[in-house]
Structure 1
Amino acid sequence: MNTSIRIKLSSMMFLEFFIWGTWFVTLGTFLSQNLGATGLEMANVFSTQSWGAIIAPFIIGLIADKYFNAERILGVLHLVGAFLMYQLYNAPNVGVFYPYVLAYMILYMPTLSLANSVSFRQLKNPEKEFSAIRVWGTIGWIVAGLAISYVFKWDEGEGLLRNTFMMAAIASLVLGLFSFTLPKTPPIKSETTGKRSVSEILGLDAIRLLSNKNFLVFFVSSVLICIPLAFYYQNANLFLTEIGLENPTGKMTIGQFSEAFFLLLLPVFFSRFGFKQTIMVGMLAWAVRYLLFAYGNAGELAYMLILGIALHGICYDFFFVSGQIYTDAKAGERYKSSAQGLITLATYGVGQLIGFWVAGFVSEHYKNNPTNDPFWQNVWLVPAGIAAVVLFLFMLFFKNEKKEPQATGQ
Structure 2
Amino acid sequence: MTEGTSRDQVEGLHWGATGGWYRYLPASGEKEYFEVTARFDYPIHGTPEVRIERWYGNGQIELFLQGYGWQPLTLYWGSDESYSEFMGCSSGLVERFELSSGLVAASEPRNGSLINRLEASAEGTVESHGLRADIEKQSFHKLQTLNFDALVIDLKSLCTPVVNVDGVYIEPSREARAFGAVPLDSSPVEVGADEYSVLLRKSLIELLKAVRPSPIFIFDHEQLIKPELQNTNLTDGPGGSVLDTMGLEKMGFLNICLPIDSKKEGGTAHHIRLDKLIEPHLYSFDEYMVRLEPACQLSLLSRPTLLTELEVNYVQGLAKDFLVEVDVLVSRKYRENNLLLTFELEGSDGTPTEEKLGRYGISKSKIPGIGYFKYFPQVRSSDTAIFKVELPEHIRCVGIGVKQVRDQGPVFVSRIEVHAAEKIHHNGSVQDGFEEAIGGSK
- Name the TM tier (shorter chain): under 0.3
Instruction: Specify which structure has the bigger relative contact order, considering alpha-carbon pairs within 8 angstroms and separated by 6 or more residues.
Output: 1
TM-score by length of 2: 0.26
Determine which structure has the larger helix proportion and give its number.
1
TM-score by length of 1: 0.27
In terms of Rg, which structure is larger? 2
Determine which structure has the larger strand proportion and give its number.
2
